[in-house]
A and B are shown apart, each in its own frame.
Chain A
Amino acid sequence: MLFRLNQAAQVHVLAARGDQAAFAEIVQEHQAMVFSIALHFLRNRAVAEELAQDVFLHLFRNLNEIQSPGHLTNWLRRVTSHRCIDQSRQQKYRPKVGLEAAPEPSMVPRTADPFLTEMLDRLIRTLPEKPRMVIILRYQEDMEPTEIAETMNIPVGTVKSILHRALALLRGKRERERKEARA
Chain B
Amino acid sequence: MNDFETQLRQNLKRKQPPMGFTQKVLLQTATPKRHLRRWILATVAAVFSLAGGLELYRYQQGQFAKQQVMLALRITSEKSHVAQMKIDQINQRRILQ
Contact = CB atoms under 8 A, between A and B. Distances in A.
Contacts of A44: none
Give the secondary structure class of B's interface. Answer: helix
Contacts of B10: 109, 112, 117
A28 B7 CA distance: 27
B16 A31 contact: yes
Given A23-B29, A27-B26, A57-B28, A52 B17 contact: yes
In terms of DSSP, what is the predominant structure of the interface of chain A?
helix
18 contacts: A23-B29, A31-B17, A32-B14, A35-B17, A36-B12, A45-B18, A49-B21, A53-B28, A56-B25, A109-B10, A117-B7, A117-B11, A124-B11, A139-B8, A139-B9, A139-B11, A140-B13, A142-B9
Contact of B15 (A35, A135, A170): A35
B22 A31 contact: yes
Interface of A: 20, 23-24, 27-28, 31-33, 35-36, 39-40, 45, 48-49, 52-53, 56-57, 60, 107, 109, 112, 116-117, 120-121, 124, 135-136, 139-140, 142, 167, 170-171, 174
A83 to B, nearest CB: 15
Nearest to B25: A56
A32 B15 contact: yes
Contacts of B21: 27, 31, 35, 49, 52-53
Interface of B: 4-5, 7-18, 21-22, 24-26, 28-30
A59 to B, nearest CB: 9
Contacts of A27: 21-22, 25-26
A23 B26 contact: yes
Contacts of B5: 139, 167
A136 B8 CA distance: 9
Nearest to A60: B29
Contact of A139 (B12, B18, B28, B29): B12
Contact of B29 (A20, A117, A121): A20
Contacts of B13: 36, 140
B14 A140 contact: yes
